[in-house]
Structure 1
Amino acid sequence: MKERDGKATVDERYTQWKSLVPVLYDWFANHNLVWPSLSCRWGPQLEQATYKNRQRLYLSEQTDGSVPNTLVIANCEVVKPRVAAAEHISQFNEEARSPFVKKYKTIIHPGEVNRIRELPQNSKIVATHTDSPDVLIWDVETQPNRHPMLGAAESRPDLVLTGHQQNAEFALAMCPTEPFVLSGGKDKSVVLWSIQDHISSLAESSSKSPVSSTPNSGGKSSIKSGEKNPESLGPRGVYQGHGDTVEDVQFCPSSAQEFCSVGDDSCLILWDARVGTSPVVKVEKAHDADLHCVDWNPHDQNLILTGSADNSVRMFDRRNLTSGGVGSPIHKFEGHKAAVLCVQWSPDRASVFGSAAEDGFLNIWDYEKIGKQKEHTGVKTPNSPPGLFFQHAGHRDKVVDFHWNASDPWTIVSVSDDCGSTGGGGTLQIWRMSDLIYRPEDDVLAELEKFKTHILTCSPKA
C-alpha cells in the first residue's frame, strides 16, 4: 500500500509540475533514454547561430548486459534565452526522445560509466570512472564510432591511469588550471596524476597516421587506435587520510596543488600537494552521515559545499576549518527529503548553487537570499527553506547527476534513474528557468513596467 501511495504522490507531483512548465521555464527539453545514465556533462560549444547554439553533450548508458555499456557523445541544440514560445515548451512528450539531442558518436566502454569529467584546458579529453581501480582517459574526437551490439569489442582508452589498490567508482575531478586528474576510491586514498605529456603528444600527433605514436617527455608513446594496449600512467601522488571509501574529490579553482575530498567516514579533508601526502585539515564530522559530494566555489575560493546522506547541503569557509571534532558550517541547507547525490556551484553567480538528491528534486539555492525572504514579504514561508529559490521537479526518481552550462550559465542538464516510469530507461532533461525568477527584483519590476506602458500605448483607443 505504501508503494502505491508513494507512486501516486510522485505522479501527482509530476502532473502539477508539468502544468507549470510554460510559466517556470524559458526553455525545456525532455529526452527519454533507452538505458539509465549515471553521469552527464557539457562539452565544448561547436557553433553559434541566431536562435540556438550547438554544443557537445557527454552521457553514459548503463545497460543490463544484453548490449555493452557505452559513453555517448551527443550534439545538443541549445535554444537561446527568450526564443522558445510557451506553447512549444509545454508540448513535450516524456516518453519520446528530444529533437534537440542527437547522438554523434558511441564509445563502447569497458564496464559501467559511473562518472564523466571533461578537461577544462581541452574539453574533447574526458576521464571516466568504472567499477575498477583505473581511471580511463578518452580523446572523444579521435575515438572511432562504435555500434553497441552483443559481443562487440570494447573501445580502447587513450590512456589508463593506475594507482588505486581497490575499485575507484565515483570520486573524479579535472583541474581548472593544469591538466591534472584527481580520483578517490574504496582503498580510502586520493590519487593525483598529471596528463600534461599525454595531452602534448596528442596535439603533436593529431595530423599523423592513426597507427603512429609520438614519444612524450616521459619516454612513453601516445596511444592511437590500431595499437594493441593503451598506455598506462602512474600517479604523481597518493594521499592517505580517510577511514572509508572516498566518494568525491574537487580541486581548488586557482591551484593544481590544493584539493579536497569527502567520504563515507563523514570527513571533509583539505590537501596541499606542496606540503606532503597527509591532510592539511581533516574535519572529522562534517555531516551526520556519509558524504556523497563536494564542490569548491570558483568565484570565492574560501567556500566549499558538501552534500550528504543526512539529506542536507552544508557550506564551509575553509578559513574556519580545524582538524578533528564536528565541522562548523556557515550554513546548513535543508530542503531535500533524501540523500544529496550532487552539488555544484553556478559558473555565473558566486552565491548560487544546485543540489540534486534521491528525492527526485534538483534545488537551486542562493545563500545571499537567506534572511531576505522575510525582508521582502514580512513573513517567512514555512514550506520554503532559507536560500531555496527554485525547485526543478521534472524527474520522477532520484536525480543522479547534473551540470551547469558554462557557455549558457543558467542552462542545466540533469539525468535521473527512473526505470519504473520509463520502461527500464532514464530521463535526460535540459532546462533553463525563466529569468524573471533569478534576476534582481528591481530589474524585473522595471521590465514589467515597460511592458505595461507598451500595452497601454498599443491598445485601441475608445
Structure 2
Amino acid sequence: MEILTGHQDNAEFALAMCPTEPYVLSGGKDKSVVLWSIQDHITSSATDPATAKSAGSSGSIIKQSPKPGDGNDKAADGPSVGPRGIYNGHEDTVEDVTFCPSSAQEFCSVGDDSCLILWDARVGTSPVIKVEKAHDADLHCVDWNPLDDNLILTGSADNSVRMFDRRNLTSNGVGSPINKFEGHSAAVLCVQWSPDKSSVFGSSAEDGLLNIWDYEKVGKKVEQGPRTTNYPAGLFFQHAGHRDKVVDFHWNASDPWTVVSVSDDCDSTGGGGTLQIWRMSDLIYRPQDEVLAELEKFKAHVISCTSKP
C-alpha cells in the first residue's frame, strides 16, 4: 500500500481523479488542495524502495513513518508518494475538487469560505481566479461540464445550485453566475453534469430530493394546459424515492439516463443508508415533437376506453 502525503490535517470529503491523466486531487481541513501523480508510484515502484530518494515535491517514493500530530497518525508505516503541488488560496475547509475535462493541469475547488477557485498547475500554486462570494453560504460541491468545459456547477448550504461560465466568473469583485437554480429546501450536497446531454445535470440535497435540470429550458414557456404550476426554472424531473438526505449520486456513462443515488436513512428508518438505481421514463427527456407523435398512436385507444361506461 502506498500513502499519498501532503495534507497537514484531515482530508475527508474532497477527492477527484483526472479523466485523461493518472492524477489525483484532494482538499482538506488544512485549507489546501493537493495534486499527486499515480505515475510517480508506478515509476518508483520499479526500483528498490530502500534506495529511492526522498523528494516530497517531486513525487518520488518516500520511506517514512507518520509523525504524531501531523494529520497522518492513522496511516500505516510504509512507502509514500509526495505531491506534485500544494495549492493554497482557501481560507476554510476545502469541500470538493474537480479536474477540467480537457486539461489535466487545470482544476477547481470550493470550500466553506464561499469561494470557487480555479487553478493551473502550469503557472504555479497560486489561484488563477478566485471567485469570492460564489454563494451566500458554504460551498459543498462542484462539477465541470465534460461536454462544455466553459461551464462549472456549484452547490451550497444556501440551498441553491449555480452555474458559472469560466470566461466571465466575476462582476464587481464577487461571483457572477449565469444561472441560479433554486429547487431544494435544504443544503445541496452533490451536483453532477449528465454525460448524455451537455445542458442537463442533477443535484441532490439534505431535503431528500434528487433534482434533474436542463438549463436550456430556463426562460422557455412550458405548456401546462389548464393546470398552474410553480416549478423552478429548468427543473424537469424530481426523484423523491429517498427518505432522508441524498448524500451522493452518479450518472452511468454506459447506460444512458441511468442514475445511482445513496442516502442517509438512519435517522428516519433506524436502518442503514439506501442505495437506489433508477432511470426516468424516456417520454420525459425525449424531444417533445417525437413524444407527441408516439402518443398520438394511442390516442384513439385511450379515447375509446374513457368513453365506455
Task: Report if the CA contact (8 A) 1:281-1:322 is conserved.
Answer: no
**Aligned AA (2:18):** C
Task: Spell out, residue by residue over 1:100-135, the C-alpha distance to the aligned partner (whole angstroms, 9 max, x if none).
Answer: xxxxxxxxxxxxxxxxxxxxxxxxxxxxxxxxxxxx
Are 1:167 and 2:5 matched, yes or no? Answer: no
Give me the whole-angstrom Cα distance separating, in 1, the residues matched to 2:30 and 2:210.
31
**Aligned AA (2:223):** H
Aligned match of 2:137:
289
Does the C-alpha gap of structure 1 residues 198 and 383 become closer, same or farther in structure 2, counting only changes over 3 Å? same
Does the C-alpha gap of structure 1 residues 361 and 407 become closer, same or farther in structure 2, counting only changes over 3 Å? same
C-alpha deviation, 1:375, in angstroms: 4.8
Give me the whole-angstrom Cα distance separating, in 1, the residues matched to 2:228 and 2:124.
48
Q: Which moved more, 1:422-431 or 1:175-184?
A: 422-431
C-alpha deviation, 1:197, in angstroms: 4.0
Are 1:185 and 2:28 matched, yes or no? Answer: yes
Give me the whole-angstrom Cα distance separating, in 2, the residues matched to 1:216 and 1:371.
62
Aligned match of 2:190:
342
C-alpha deviation, 1:200, in angstroms: 6.6
Task: Give matches, 1:108-127, under 5 Å.
Answer: none
Task: Report if the CA contact (8 A) 1:333-1:386 is conserved.
Answer: yes
How many matched pairs? 283
C-alpha deviation, 1:448, in angstroms: 1.9
C-alpha deviation, 1:422, in angstroms: 3.1
The correspondence for 2:164, drawn from 316, 321, 327, is 316
Task: Report if the CA contact (8 A) 2:262-2:275 is conserved.
Answer: yes
Task: Report if the CA contact (8 A) 1:183-1:192 is conserved.
Answer: yes
Does the C-alpha gap of structure 1 residues 160 and 334 become closer, same or farther in structure 2, counting only changes over 3 Å? same
SS in 2 for 1:320: coil
Give me the whole-angstrom Cα distance separating, in 1, the residues matched to 2:228 and 2:257.
25
Give me the whole-angstrom Cα distance separating, in 1, the residues matched to 2:256 and 2:269.
29
Are 1:302 and 2:150 matched, yes or no? Answer: yes
Give me the whole-angstrom Cα distance separating, in 2, the residues matched to 1:173 and 1:414.
18
**Aligned AA (1:315):** M
Are 1:406 and 2:249 matched, yes or no? Answer: no
Does the C-alpha gap of structure 1 residues 182 and 323 become closer, same or farther in structure 2, counting only changes over 3 Å? farther
In structure 1, the gaps of 5 or more residues are 1-157, 202-212, 222-227, 457-462
Q: Which has the higher contact order (CA 8 A, sep 6+)?
A: 1
Aligned match of 1:419:
266
Task: Give matches, 1:34-73, under 5 Å.
Answer: none
Give me the whole-angstrom Cα distance separating, in 1, the residues matched to 2:29 and 2:171.
23
| TM-score, normalised via structure 1 length | 0.57
Aligned match of 1:71:
none
The correspondence for 2:204, drawn from 348, 356, 362, is 356
Are 1:393 and 2:236 matched, yes or no? Answer: no
**Aligned AA (2:288):** E
Task: Report if the CA contact (8 A) 2:131-2:174 is conserved.
Answer: yes
**Cα RMSD, aligned residues only:** 2.7
Does the C-alpha gap of structure 1 residues 323 and 192 become closer, same or farther in structure 2, counting only changes over 3 Å? farther
Are 1:371 and 2:212 matched, yes or no? Answer: no
**Aligned AA (2:287):** P
Give me the whole-angstrom Cα distance separating, in 2, the residues matched to 1:159 and 1:324.
45
